[in-house]
Amino acid sequence: MIVEYLRQLSFSFFNTPPQKTVVSPSRNKISEDPDLKIIWNKLIDQYFNADPELKKYKVVWSGRSQKRVLASCNIYSKVVRVAPAMKFGDAPLFIEPLLYHELCHAVVGFITVGRKRVFHSRQFRAQEARHPQIELLNQWIKLGGWTKSVRISKRNTTKRPSKSY
């Protein structure tokens, strides 16, 4: 996953009270986003020999608004989740390298060091470096682009009453 570490402290300002986890039918029904999936598949064709196993992944917009996690990859359930804030500001420009980062997680998995799982291993970083926009993505995060997108998304997302259908 891509987590923004550098500005953690400033995020406390935006913190909302912890949300209750409710198991609702809508949470279990994961619907893929066709546009994200097109980029995902294109990256697989380009970098991983069109591997059909990788194409089994579902790529979805995360239901929860996330302030620190841009995206995550679950290698067991084969689901990649992208934070809704990635739709705002200049974030859409960085969707491809972001999905590539998650794709590398799907390919590399993790190594175990002692009792710790290491996801961003040297092997992972080598794989990741093959994409020319990874550095740009990291710069964008470092320079506050992601923080800005989160802020814009908060302004533009109308709060809906929680409802279960």
Instruction: Kindly list the residues in this chain that would bind Zn ion in the complex (CB under 5 A).
Output: 1
Looking at the Cβ atoms of 1 and 93, the one nearer to Zn ion is 1
DSSP state letters, 31-58: ---HHHHHHHHHHHHHHSTT-TTGGG-E
Minimal distance in Å, beta carbon 151 to Zn ion?
Answer: 23
Spatial contact of 97 and 146, defined as CB atoms under 8 Å apart: no
Looking at the Cβ atoms of 8 and 156, the one nearer to Zn ion is 8
Minimal distance in Å, beta carbon 72 to Zn ion?
Answer: 8
123: which 2 tokens?
């092997």
β-strands 111-113, 116-118 pairing: antiparallel
Looking at the Cβ atoms of 27 and 125, the one nearer to Zn ion is 125
Residue nearest to Zn ion (CB): 1
DSSP for residue 81: E
Looking at the Cβ atoms of 88 and 105, the one nearer to Zn ion is 105
Minimal distance in Å, beta carbon 50 to Zn ion?
Answer: 23
118: left (phi over 0), alpha (psi -120 to 50) or beta: beta
Minimal distance in Å, beta carbon 128 to Zn ion?
Answer: 8
